[in-house]
A and B are shown apart, each in its own frame.
Chain A
Amino acid sequence: ETGVTQTPRHLVMGMTNKKSLKCEQHLGHNAMYWYKQSAKKPLELMFVYNFKEQTENNSVPSRFSPECPNSSHLFLHLHTLQPEDSALYLCASSLDRGGGTEAFFGQGTRLTVV
């Protein structure tokens, strides 16, 4: 356990469904991240939040909607996804976005879109 908890661990959803992924950390970190890991592709950064403010949106389609109500929680709201969105979604947190401090990852949510 790294101190970053993601739920659910597995999710199967239809293309018309709406679901949310949750990430929680109590490490006192101020930066939180969403990554997508598809088969045969490097980890792709999706969103970055620093002190609850979104600082990066890496050209992610609007069917992915992040929410960061406080520094400890991060959500990824999903709606009208496509089968190609099936992937492992990883949440990470770091002390801050400066100094290259290491990011701690959650266990991920394995998402399957049918």
Chain B
Amino acid sequence: EDKVVQSPLSLVVHEGDTVTLNCSYEVTNFRSLLWYKQEKKAPTFLFMLTSSGIEKKSGRLSSILDKKELFSILNITATQTGDSAIYLCAVVNAGNMLTFGGGTRLMVKP
């Protein structure tokens, strides 16, 4: 059974801080890893990672995958209150099934 574990479960920081969110996984026949941001309701897509060591970057957010050690990190620099959300990690296996982790709840205080 595929498994995704995210850490920490929750995190409280102040504006301007840098945060690193972790996602480790066990999956049969890995295809890709996805990061989502969930505010209020619908998760919104952030990144899709398929290759090790290649950083994906979007503004203050970046993510990288390590397929040997089976983990990914999501970095957010110069955090803002609008970054407060639940960050979800999911892996896709060869059967194209998505398995989500439990999420990291990030709160950014002014």
Q: Which residues of A contact B4 (CB under 8 A)?
A: 42
Q: Are A100 and B102 in contact (CB under 8 A)?
A: no
Q: Are B96 and A45 in contact (CB under 8 A)?
A: no
Cβ of B8 under 8 Å from chain A: no
Q: Are A107 and B42 in contact (CB under 8 A)?
A: yes
Kindly state the separation between the CA atoms of A14 and B86 in the bound complex, as whole angstroms: 30
Grouping DSSP codes into helix (H, G, I), strand (E, B) and loop, the B interface class, with mixed when no group exceeds half, is: strand
Q: Are B45 and A98 in contact (CB under 8 A)?
A: no
- B29 to A: closest C-beta gap in Å: 11
Cβ of B7 under 8 Å from chain A: no
> Known: A42-B4, A105-B42. Is A100-B32 also a contact (CB below 8 A)?
yes
**Chain A contact residue count (CB 8 A cutoff):** 24
- A42 to B: closest C-beta gap in Å: 5
Kindly state the separation between the CA atoms of A13 and B62 in the bound complex, as whole angstroms: 42
Kindly state the separation between the CA atoms of A88 and B4 in the bound complex, as whole angstroms: 21
User: Is the interface on chain B under 10, 10 to 19, 20 to 34, or 35 or more residues?
Assistant: 20 to 34
- A58 to B: closest C-beta gap in Å: 9
Cβ of A106 under 8 Å from chain B: yes
Q: Which residues of A contact B85 (CB under 8 A)?
A: none
By a beta-carbon cutoff of 8 Å, the part of chain B in contact with chain A is: 4, 31-32, 34, 36, 41-45, 48, 50, 88, 90, 92, 96-103
Give me the 5 closest cross-chain CB pairs, A-B, nearest first: A100-B32, A100-B92, A43-B100, A97-B96, A105-B42
By a beta-carbon cutoff of 8 Å, the part of chain A in contact with chain B is: 2, 4, 33, 41-43, 45, 48, 56, 88, 90, 97-108, 110
